[in-house]
Structure 1
């Protein structure tokens, strides 16, 4: 039936569950044009703000959407929502097969570095896409860290190769 690790199956189930709702698909269709805040989405779709907030929360928890705050001339900063990554869902149904494949376009999840560093990079990428230029300094610092880690890993590899040849 459906294959893959349990976390991959959970991710697939969450995405299918979230995307099974027409209102959520309509929200994503709006966000393809540009990031929007709750009242804009509510007005465009003629749906109450409380319902929109619940849909946005579910999609953000699934990793389909991200949010950020943007200052406005008067009042508090507004929370905007945007599509956070490209996701492809392929469903195959025939007499011999029932398979659902969910693929993250950025990279296959199995290839991602573990934990916080990858999310940190994606967060910086989202900030830069939204014109938050202070994130460029964060990116420079992250690159310096990655360069240092790469040099250290290369040194370790060279040392391991030398030891292996000596044995």
Structure 2
């Protein structure tokens, strides 16, 4: 079984996760949106399902895939100790942008 980070290492799988943020999608919808064949999409979805990122629901001839939050929560928890590395920089950027905006205001 692949680790969460191995699953997320392929851009195609990250694109699928991104598409599923808006709600359940069928294999054909995802394949069309991402410009890949249905067999290739099915392989990526199987990896995502096996890793717990998505659930599948059969509806007649179609399978609907839906995003599960648990693996993403696990990634966020793993990243938490490193948040300080970018948080301070984002705060500095925000202050800099505020200063620039204040300089643009008419007096």
The alignment's TM-score, normalised by the length of structure 1, stands at 0.42
Q: How does 1:9-158 map to 2 (within 5 A)?
A: 14-70=3-59, 76-86=60-70, 87-88=72-73, 89=75, 90-91=78-79
C-alpha distance in 1 between matches for 2:30 and 2:46: 13
**Could you say what secondary structure the match of 2:3 adopts?**
helix
User: Aligned partners of 2:56 and 2:3: how far apart in 1?
Assistant: 19
Give the 3-state SS of the residue equivalent to 2:52 in structure 1.
coil
Alpha-carbon distance in structure 2 between the residues aligned to 1:14 and 1:61: 11
- Structure number with the bigger relative contact order (C-alpha 8 A, sep ≥ 6) is 2
TM score, norm. by length of structure 2: 0.64
> In the TM superposition, what is the alpha-carbon distance from 1:48 to its structure 2 partner?
1.2
Name the SS of the counterpart of 1:33 in structure 2.
Answer: coil
Q: By percentage of residues, which structure has more helix?
A: 2
- Distance in 2, matches of 1:28 and 1:85, equals 10
Instruction: Compare CA radii of gyration and give the structure with the larger one.
Output: 1
Structure 1: gaps spanning 5 or more residues: 1-9, 71-75, 94-167
Q: How many correspondences in the alignment?
A: 77
1:85 Cα deviation after fit: 2.8
Superposed CA RMSD: 1.9
Q: Distance in 2 between matches of 1:60 and 1:39?
A: 16
